[in-house]
Chains A and B, each alone.
Chain A
Amino acid sequence: MKYFFLQATLSRSLPFGEAGGALTHILFLSTTLFFIGMYGLFTRRNMITILMAVELILNSVNINFVAFNKYLYPGKLDGIFFSIFVITIAAAEAAVAIAIIINLYRSHHSIDVEDASELKY
């Protein structure tokens, strides 16, 4: 989905019009947020922190949705719907992830992902 928007944006090579400045700022914010999430995902070993990093990534996507909806297609609501949908999924995902973490803790007495690396060649 992300690529679709990226492609749509670039192919039209919009100068972002009058609101271009505001949109650029918002995109900058969301990109920063995304890479902070990425950084957390790669560097942290604690699974709860990793989960939080994933949430950051999801929220950066949400910001993109809302921003594009507002500045490029003001008459439509698709972007908003999508972001609400993502929030719902994120909530469910958090529940599942925390259940997995609890089970992992019970079996390994740790929630460090380095300690749970038996499933390999």
Chain B
Amino acid sequence: MKDILLQITMANILPFGEVGGALIPLLPLATFVILGLFGRKYFKSFAGILGTLSILIVTLLSFYTAYHYFFVEGKVDGVFQKIVALKYTWLEFSPNVSIDMGIVLDPISVMMIVVVSFVSLMVHIFSLGYMEGEERFATYYAFLSLFTFSMLGLVLSSNIFQIYMFWELVGVSSYLLIGFYFDKPSAVAASKKAFIVTRFADLGFLVGILILAFYSGTLDFGVLINKLTSIQSPEFIHITSASFLGASMLTWGLTLVFIGGAGKSAMFPLHIWLPDAMEGPTPVSALIHAATMVVAGVFLVARLFPVFSVDGTALNIVAYTGALSALLAAIIACTQTDIKRVLAYSTMSQIGYMMFSLGVSKYGGENGLGYMASMFHLFTHAFFKSLLFLGAGAVIHVVHSNEMKDMGGLRKLMPITHITFLIACLAIAGIPIFSGFFSKEEILLAAYHSNKLIYVVGVLASGLTAFYMFRLYFSIFWNSTQNADHLMKHGHGEGSLTIKWPLIILAVCALLAGFVPIAHWVTSDGVPLETHIDIGFSTLPVLLALAGIGLASYLYKTANTRPQAIAHSLGGLYQTAYKKFYIDEIYLFITKKIIFNLIGRPAAWIDKNIVDGLMNGLAALTGKISELIKGLQSGKLQNYTLYFFGGALGLAIILIYFLQ
């Protein structure tokens, strides 16, 4: 076919050529279709195995691709290349502007397919045990496959419009999975909230895409980045010289794209959907709302990073939004009592780290440390955060509650969950040799060299992170033991092997991921970077983290009243943090009181009375007139004859006397 433009460059990087490459996103899609259409009828118990097998193949293909990219073919003259492995022009507007479906391999996309498929595989296996006996088991796996397909398509996108489509698909699958227990009103409300908030942010993304595409004249990532980063190109001069409300169109376009990213990545002030999204099944929270989908915003900024790096204002917005979210979420996380909500705020805080790390970075070489650190943190965070969520899932599976007060003393009942959860907590707290330490140090180092304020915020939030994570850990596994004793006697055990194995594998990853030399592979310009850990620099954050752990152990290791006393003495401050800084209330006030009353109601009144009134009046008038003249249609032949002759006579009179 002529219109199918296949650009195959170095396709042998992909397993079995471009077909194998396309298989990475398409296999989950096929699984979704099969399970979605026939799952409930024909594969009731087999659905989980089918979904897991398909994702296992995808994971193997991803590993193969990553191996070939990083070790065999990706590097040319010491620089990792951006390879367009597959490109199919789907919709062509003009020779330059077209929507393509393609696969791009560069360090971040290759890293992301490994992370996404691996975490997805773990979640699939975990769900075999966790979701066992669910009524809509096959549907659940169908949705998981849909999500995996969309996320893989998103990270492999070669075209900014392709990424937008997969972006929306990811949003839809997230919506479906949050609302999986749709008979629970809170789950329905949460899924709607997530959909509306991210959709609202996506409006910004779309406008941003249109601005960037309008000025650069292309939708292709490669061409767009080339045109908007070369200072002499006419497109660059055009977009930077055009300004709106005091900022250049480049700043506007990038900021709007970032708003889309902030919506998905739960950045302040668009984060309100994430804590509520915890209504979904816990493995879903691990996959979507911790490890993969919520980092899509970070990925988007990283994907367009060369363009961001030429615009200081947009980059500053990214940095300060990230830093504010990191600190705010860390403070809120200290006060929440629902364990999944604590983890949700901790996710928001860690993504804040990734964002400000990108924000303080520059393009290329040593200056690109922040970019590398951000991707490194994304990589390690995916493992320990999905581990935390799966661990929380295992706990919830046993305790049948999300509340901290229903837990405590579970370490004897659930030894494997206890150990793996501890490893994840140490990793996220940034204790040396655990993976989180390495990535967080790089982030703080990057912040230290470029923006001291953000560095201070980062260090503070890192201390808070250690505190709230260990508050969680001690509340679940230590503290009072009366619930645990009850469960020992009456509850079931820790869970099946399918629940334990993913925890163990992820714990190994959370322990060792820090030693993966991401700096050699994933950098802003593709040139490997040499990094080293500076003991002197690391001392402060590690000490703060240890202090946080110490404080948490003092307050929560055994049952006591100290936490309540502290909360009481903090008074309003504690209450404000517990109420999540009243951000939800502010949103409700703005939407219900201001927008509904000042815009919604008048608009509804105009619609009802003026627009509808006009149409109704017209119809009523027509009805009245026809009522008046309907007697003419009497059905009597002679009446009609009379009209006919009357008419003829009238015409004759007109012709004779008036139209002479």
Contact = CB atoms under 8 A, between A and B. Distances in A.
Asked if A pairs with B, the answer is yes
Interface of A: 3, 6-7, 10, 38, 41-42, 50, 113-114, 116-121
A41 B634 contact: no
A117 B645 contact: no
Contacts of A42: 638, 641-642
A120 B641 contact: no
Contacts of B656: 6-7, 10
Contacts of B641: 41-42
Interface residues of B, number: 15
Given A3-B652, A117-B637, 20 more contacts: A3-B651, A6-B656, A7-B655, A7-B656, A10-B656, A38-B645, A41-B638, A41-B641, A42-B638, A42-B642, A114-B636, A116-B637, A117-B634, A117-B636, A119-B635, A120-B634, A120-B635, A121-B630, A121-B633, A121-B635
Nearest to A4: B655
Nearest to B644: A41
A38 B631 CA distance: 23
Contacts of B634: 117, 120-121
Given A10-B656, A38-B645, A118 B638 contact: no
Contact of A3 (B631, B636, B655): B655
A113 B645 contact: no
Nearest to B659: A7
A117 B651 contact: no
6 contacts: A3-B651, A3-B655, A6-B656, A113-B638, A114-B636, A120-B633
Interface string B603-647: 000000000000000000000000000110111111001100100
A45 to B, nearest CB: 8
A118 B637 CA distance: 11
Binding site of B, secondary structure by majority: helix, strand, loop or mixed? helix
Contacts of B651: 3
Nearest to A10: B656
A113 B636 contact: yes
Interface of B: 630-631, 633-638, 641-642, 645, 651-652, 655-656
B459 to A, nearest CB: 86
Contacts, number: 35
A6 B652 contact: yes
Contacts of A114: 636
A119 B630 CA distance: 12
Most buried by B among A3, A6, A113, A121: A121
A57 B631 CA distance: 28
Most buried by A among B630, B633, B637: B637
Nearest to A119: B635
Nearest to B645: A38
B632 to A, nearest CB: 8
What are the 6 A-B residue pairs with the smallest beta carbon separation, nearest first? A120-B635, A117-B635, A121-B630, A113-B637, A121-B633, A120-B633
Contacts of A41: 638, 641
A68 B634 CA distance: 39
B634 to A, nearest CB: 6
A42 B644 CA distance: 12
Contacts of B645: 38
A119 to B, nearest CB: 5
Contacts of A117: 634-637
A121 B631 CA distance: 7
A38 B630 CA distance: 26
A41 B651 CA distance: 20
Contacts of A3: 651-652, 655
A120 B636 CA distance: 8
Most buried by A among B641, B651, B655: B641
A26 B651 CA distance: 25
Contacts of A50: 637
A41 to B, nearest CB: 6
B628 to A, nearest CB: 12
Most buried by B among A3, A116, A118, A120: A120
B627 to A, nearest CB: 10
B495 to A, nearest CB: 77
A20 B655 CA distance: 25
Nearest to A117: B635
A114 B636 CA distance: 6
Contacts of A116: 637
Contacts of A38: 645
Contacts of B637: 50, 113, 116-117
